[in-house]
Every structure is written in C-alpha cells, then in structure tokens.
Amino acid sequence: MTEATFTFRVDEALKTEFAAAAKARDRSGAQLLRDFMRDFVRQERDPAEHDAWFRRQVQVGLDAAAAGDLIPDETVEAEAAAWRRETRRRLAGSGS
C-alpha cells in the first residue's frame, strides 16, 4: 500500500493533549488518527451499503407488484389475525 502524508493545522494545546492521551494508551498520535480515519470511512460506507440494499429490495417489491405477483388482502389479514392471536396467547401465558 502506498503511503501519503496528511498535513493539517491544529491548536497547539489540542495537539499536546492529544499526544499525551495517545501516549497514555501506548499509541502514537499518528496511529490513533489512522484508526479514527478508518472508523470514519467504515461508518460512512456502512449506511451507504444499507441504503443501496434497501433500494434494491424496494425495487424487487415494485417489480413483483408490477408483474401482478401480489398477496391477496384477505390472506394478509388472516395471517396478521393469527399472529395477533398467538401474541395475545403468549402474553397471557407469561403473566404479563
């Protein structure tokens, strides 16, 4: 992997405190900054991946609906009623 230098300005007091905090963790400031950068990139990537997955799932549903591949309302209502009955039964049995 090719390495590059990343230079930026920071308040001297913050730099000093950061270096001391890094040393207390037996790490260098550069090591911590690389970790922070990796974590930030990962956090930004994960929501984007989820959004892409979600959009694909929505499109699958839209395509199925356009093709007429639908579940009749009566079937959905019957399954939901059965689910509600089972949930009530479990709640009654647990003493809640």
pLDDT per residue over 12-62, tens digit each?
Answer: 999 999 999 999 999 999 999 999 999 998 888 888 888 999 999 999 999
In this prediction, residue 43 carries a pLDDT of 85
What is the model's pLDDT at position 27?
A: 93
Mean pLDDT for 61-73 is 92
Say whether pTM exceeds 0.75: no
- Report how far residue 62's alpha carbon sits from residue 65's, in angstroms, rounded to the nearest whole number: 5
96 — pLDDT class (breaks 50, 70, 90):
low
Per-domain residue ranges of the chain: 12-70
